[in-house]
Amino acid sequence: MHQIRYFLAVSDTLNWTKAADRCNVAQPSLTRAIKALEAELGGELLRRERALTHLTELGQRVLPMLRQCYETAVSAKMAAESIIKGDAVPLSLAISHTVSLKPFAPMLQELARVFPGLRLKLQRGSRGEVADYLKSGTVEMAIAGPLGEAWTRLDVFPLFEEHCDLAVAPTHRLAAKDGAEFKDLAAETLVIDVGCEVVDDIRARLRAHRIVDPPTHDVGTREDQLALLSANLGVAVITVGAAETHALRLVPLKQLDLHLTVSVYTVAGRQRGTACATLLNMLRAAEWASA
């Protein structure tokens, strides 16, 4: 594994002296290790031209995968060792309002069993807040739908998809119908969770069906959205799972075809805590039945 550590150090610094210092080895050892890695991969990874060092095409191609694998290896190793020591294990996690904690509860339970020192810090937020928590380092990882962020340091691992549909109170006039069409919404007030990950998709679909500037109640959390729906103040397009927990009626909305892809997010290059690394591996290994 030291070969990969050395290769990552040279790739980061593009300077053999600095890389050797960072890895705390003599330059000949560094060179030897990289030659061995090149022999194993069957090609040159780095090219030295006088004072300049740059990655070859093969080097550029294998760098991201070796980095991801190396980060997983290092944090998994730390996790296995920290149990032996019985350390306190903090885990800071953000979950968007849209996502239910329920499917993740068995994993947190398993994590707490293995790490008796587990101390959770859970934060809820809109997609913007979740993205900010990740960027600022307030949380190590997040579970949410698409964050609408083009931040290159964000590592995204898709987990499952949740189907969205029209939800109404049991007393609503549409509740008794087998299905609805967009034109049925023309006379309705919509309850919109403005921080929800699919709010832009919902608005785009409404516009596409000529529902422009409909009357709305705007809310900032899923909980408030569900409360207003239960009180029959309007109708909403939400994930099916959320509607079921609040005894709302789901009415299939023709031509909606909307899914929320729930992913786990981490920040590349940031040292993952032991609980974070272990939970990430559990989430990625898990078998998810798509909702």
> Which one of residues 25, 62, 168, 267 is an interface residue with other proteins (CB under 8 A)?
62
> Which one of residues 24, 49, 51, 65 is an interface residue with other proteins (CB under 8 A)?
65
Q: Which one, 62 or 226, has the nearer CB to other proteins?
A: 62
**Residue 102 is a binding residue for other proteins (CB under 8 A):** no
Q: Compute the distance between CA of residue 267 and CA of residue 138 in angstroms, rounded to an integer.
A: 11
Supply angle C-alpha 111, 66, 157, rounded to 5.
Answer: 45
**Residue 31 is a binding residue for other proteins (CB under 8 A):** no
**Residue 156 is a binding residue for other proteins (CB under 8 A):** no
Q: Compute the distance between CA of residue 94 and CA of residue 46 in angstroms, rounded to an integer.
A: 39
**Residue 120 is a binding residue for other proteins (CB under 8 A):** no
Segment contacting other proteins (CB under 8 A): 13-21, 65-73, 119-127, 257-265?
A: 65-73
Give CA 236 to chain center in angstroms: 25
Q: How far is the CB of 40 from other proteins (least distance, A)?
A: 4
- State the distance between the two ends of the chain, measured CA to CA, in whole angstroms: 39
**Residue 70 is a binding residue for other proteins (CB under 8 A):** yes
The one-letter code for the residue type at 47 is R
**Residue 130 is a binding residue for other proteins (CB under 8 A):** no
Binding mask 177-216 for other proteins (x = CB under 8 A): ----------------------------------------
Segment contacting other proteins (CB under 8 A): 24-32, 74-82, 238-246, 262-270?
A: 74-82
**Residue 76 is a binding residue for other proteins (CB under 8 A):** yes
Q: Which one, 95 or 280, has the nearer CB to other proteins?
A: 280
> Which one of residues 14, 26, 80, 268 is an interface residue with other proteins (CB under 8 A)?
80
Burial class of residue 135 (count of CB atoms within 10 Å of its CB; 0-12, 13-18, 19+): middle
